[in-house]
Each structure stands twice: as C-alpha cells, then as structure tokens.
C-alpha cells in the first residue's frame, strides 16, 4: 500500500526546512559547520534521486561531524522511498538519539514496519511516541501557548498606541474553552475559568457571564452556597477543595453581571454579601486565619475592591438618560462605568456647564438610592466619583419633588 504521494513528500521537505534551525543547535556544539555536501543531499532528496542520496549520506555519515544526524535520517528516508524497508529500519535505528531527528526517525521506523505488515511492533512505537507527545508537561506547555494568545485577544487596545488592534473577547473566550478542555492543573483551571468568564462579560454576553462566574464560584469557593437570595443553597462540603485565587473578584463580577443584565435586586444582595465577607474579622478561635481570599484583597487591585463595591452599588440605583449619553458632555458617562478611568471637562470635574439631567433613578426606590449614595460619600468622600455621587443625590431629590 502506497501511503506517500509526491505532495506529501514536498510537505515533508518543507517540514525539514523548519527543523533545520533546531538541527543547527546540535551543530553549534561541534567545532565545524555542516559540510556543503549536506545541501547537496537535501537537493538530491527533493529531486527524488534516492540512490544518489544514499551514497551521499554515507559519505557525510563517515565524516562524523556537524549534520551527521540529519544525513542519517535522510538516508533512512531515501531507503524507505525505494521500498527497502529493512534497510530503512536499520538506518533509522542509527540516527543520533541526542538529535532532533530521532523522533522523526522513530515514526519512519514505525511506517516501515507497517509496510512490512508488522503491525504489533509498529503499534508499540506509535504508542510510545503518543505517550511522549501527550505527556502532562507538553499539555501544560500547549495550554500556556493557547492561554497567552487568548490573553492578548482579551487585552483592551492601548490608547497611546496608534492603530492598536481592538480586543476580540469572543475569540478569547473560545480559546480559553479550548485550553480548559485539556488536562490541566487545578491552579491553571482557576486562572482560565475566571478569565473565560471575564472575557464573555466584556463581550457583552451577560447571561453567559452569570453562568460562568457561578461555575467558577461553585468549583473554587468552598464558602459559596449559590446566588444571593436564590434559595438554591448547596450543602456544605465535608472536605472542601482549596479556595481559588479570584474568589473576591468573581463574586464582584457576578454582581456586576447581574446588574448589567437588569437583575438589580440580585446584584445588590451579592454586593452586600461580599462586603460583609471583606470586613469580617481575620481571627478564628483566637488565631489569625489568612486565606487566598485575604491574599487577593491584599493586592493593589484588591485594595480598591471596597470602593468598587460601593460605587457599583450606587450605579445599580442610578443611570443616565439616553440623551445625556449621546450629548457633548458624554464624558460624564465614562464615570458610570466602574472600569473606566473617566474624563474631565475643564475645571468642572467632568460635570456639564449646561442645564441637563445627568442621572435618573433606575427604579422608584428613592430612599435606598440616597442611602447607597450617602454610604459611598461617608466611606470615600474625596475624588471625582464623590463629586458625581453628590450630584446624583441632588438630582434625585430635584426630580422626585
């Protein structure tokens, strides 16, 4: 059975070209560069002059210098194409085991065994190579490459870089899914499941984000018993798994997704629960109990979380009318987004200089909205957000009158 076509051979030699760089690593360890005959050997193989290639390979192998491993492999390849399978197997066995060509030689040997209908021995070789290729370390390396690319796709464009590529959160989400489908460590799953949920949230798919953040908390937060007020509490675990590294922000992003999807009451309850957990004492039976949750809060981003919780709570009560969002003063809308650094207009702190309604209540609960705003000002009385919260209070009272 002929399993190699001319096109396959051409593809193989293109692959050889890619391997040349790796093969040169072996050459660097020798005092002399590869002999010019090696280029001639490659040319003979491309031209399918296999008998000449074998003779030239033997000559190069006899020199025992740089390029010998590649010459050994190409000799085995030439013998295979001339259907001299026993000789091809023997030549493949002679390929330097410390070279990058040894893996290709193993597959060539297995293919030669198949041509001889020695399927049992060929299967053993394939199984060994498959185990090597699918080893845990190689899987982790592959997942790392996929995740790194997904991270780039999920990175917002740098405004300081002209023509910076825009993020593609949906593609990043799909890549995170592919990485998670592989066998990876719990620590890496912790990282990727959170990033996956965050990517789909940034893509605007808040329903899926809700499900993904809940899935993260179910797997990585032993203390989480379900969405606040859902009545779907789960039983406590006898031997809970280790807590994840993104539990605090997963809870926060879950609340944010609930608010973004219009489920304001659920989002507010999640924020209240999270705030209670943050301010809970560290002492348990007289001992300080430090968990990954506290380590997360100790980071630069984590230290900002209490302010973000209060700010998101305020946003759950106030919104901007469409006319304001599309006006010249839309810079103010940047401050409604908890993830935006905001903008300012002159020395007005971003507030308009014309008579325009900036904020309106999302629902009719004026008292709760005023309380959330006053709580924010009591905790964080300075900064541009405080100016806006004060404006919200004034507008809420004015429009309710």
Are residues 291 and 243 in contact, defined by beta-carbon separation less than 8 angstroms? yes
CA 81 to each of CA 23, 37, 48, 292: distance values in angstroms, whole numbers, following the listed order = 23, 21, 9, 60
Task: Provide the mean pLDDT of the chain.
Answer: 80
Rounded-to-integer distance, Cα 194 and Cα 216, Å? 6
- How far is Cα 260 from Cα 209, in angstroms, rounded to an integer? 10
Flag whether pLDDT at 333 surpasses 50: no
Q: What is the pLDDT of residue 280?
A: 78
pLDDT at 211 over 60: yes
pTM higher than the cut 0.75 = no
Residue 106: count other Cβ atoms within 10 Å of its Cβ. 19
The answer to whether residues 100 and 107 touch, using CB atoms and an 8 Å cutoff, is no
d(CA 199, CA 154): 6
What is the pLDDT, as a whole number, of residue 37? 80
Q: What is the pLDDT of residue 136?
A: 60
User: When comparing pLDDT for 364 and 340, which is higher?
Assistant: 364
Could you tell me the two tokens for 165? 């590529």
Over residues 304-325, mean pLDDT: 87
Q: Could you tell me if 261 and 204 are in contact, meaning their C-beta atoms sit under 8 angstroms apart?
A: no
pLDDT at 208 over 60: yes
pLDDT tens digit string along 106-165? Answer: 989 988 998 888 888 888 888 887 777 666 666 777 788 888 889 988 988 888 888 777
- Please say if the pLDDT value at position 363 is more than 90: no
Choice among 186-190, 241-245, 323-327 with the minimum mean pLDDT: 323-327
φ/ψ of residue 61, rounded to 5: -65, -35
CA distance 367 to 397: 10
Q: Which residue has the tokens 């070279």?
A: 99
Confidence of residue 343 (pLDDT cuts 50, 70, 90): very low
* Residues in CB range of 197: below 8 A, 6 or more apart: 209, 212, 213, 215, 216, 250, 253
- The structure tokens listed for 59 are 């000559």
What is the band of 229 on the pLDDT scale with cuts at 50, 70, 90? low
How far apart are alpha carbons 60 and 392 in whole angstroms? 83
How much is the pLDDT for 10?
40
> What pLDDT, in 10s, does the model give residues 176-206?
999 999 888 899 999 999 999 999 999 999 9
As a whole number, mean pLDDT of residues 48-69 equals 87
**CA atoms of 337 and 248, how far apart (whole Å):** 19
The most distant pair of C-alpha atoms in the chain lies apart, rounded to whole Å, by 99
Give residue 125's pLDDT: 85
Please state the rounded mean pLDDT for residues 96-105: 87
- Rounded mean pLDDT of 238-254? 89
Instruction: Collapse the DSSP code of 153 into the 3-class scheme (helix H, G, I; strand E, B; otherwise coil) and give the result.
Output: helix
Element counts in the chain: helices (H) and strands (E): 20, 4
Token representation of residue 350: 């971003």
Give me the pLDDT at residue 238, please: 64
| pLDDT grade for 393, boundaries at 50, 70 and 90 | very high
**250: part of which helix (H) or strand (E)?**
helix 247-260
């Amino acid at each position: 059975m002929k399993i190699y076509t001319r096109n396959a051979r051409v593809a193989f030699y293109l692959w050889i070209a890619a391997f040349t760089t790796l093969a040169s690593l072996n050459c660097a360890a020798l005092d002399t560069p590869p002999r010019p005959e090696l280029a001639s050997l490659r040319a003979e193989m491309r031209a399918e002059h296999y008998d000449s290639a074998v003779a030239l390979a033997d000559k190069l192998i006899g020199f025992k210098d740089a390029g010998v491993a590649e010459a050994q492999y190409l000799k085995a390849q030439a013998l295979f194409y001339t259907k001299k399978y026993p000789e091809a197997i023997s030549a493949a066995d002679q390929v330097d085991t410390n070279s990058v060509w040894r893996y290709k030689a193993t597959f060539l040997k297995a293919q030669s065994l198949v041509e001889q209908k020695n399927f049992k021995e060929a299967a053993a070789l394939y199984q060994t190579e498959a185990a090597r290729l699918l080893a845990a370390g190689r899987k982790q390396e592959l997942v790392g490459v996929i995740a790194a690319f997904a991270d780039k796709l999920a990175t917002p464009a740098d405004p300081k870089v002209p023509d910076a590529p825009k993020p593609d959160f949906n593609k990043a989400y799909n890549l995170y899914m592919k990485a998670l489908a592989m066998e990876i460590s719990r620590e890496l799953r912790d990282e990727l499941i959170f990033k996956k949920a965050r990517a789909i949230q940034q893509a605007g798919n808040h329903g899926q984000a809700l499900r993904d953040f809940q899935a993260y908390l179910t797997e990585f937060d032993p203390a989480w018993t379900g969405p606040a007020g859902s009545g779907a509490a789960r039983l406590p675990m006898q031997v809970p798994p280790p807590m994840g590294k993104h539990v605090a922000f997963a809870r926060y992003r879950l609340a944010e997704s609930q608010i973004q999807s219009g489920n304001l009451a659920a989002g507010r309850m999640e924020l209240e629960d999270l705030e209670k957990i943050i301010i809970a004492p560290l002492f348990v039976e007289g001992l300080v109990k430090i968990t990954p949750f506290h380590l997360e809060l100790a980071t630069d981003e984590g230290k900002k979380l209490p302010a973000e919780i209060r700010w998101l709570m305020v946003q759950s009560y106030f919104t901007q009318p469409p006319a304001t969002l599309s006006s010249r003063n839309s810079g103010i809308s940047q401050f409604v987004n908890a993830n935006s650094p905001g903008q300012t207009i002159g020395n007005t702190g971003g507030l308009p200089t014309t008579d325009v309604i900036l904020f309106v209540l999302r629902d009719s609960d004026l008292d709760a909205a005023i309380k959330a705003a006053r709580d924010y000002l009591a905790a964080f009385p300075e900064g541009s957000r405080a100016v806006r919260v004060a404006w919200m209070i004034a507008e809420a009272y004015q429009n309710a009158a």
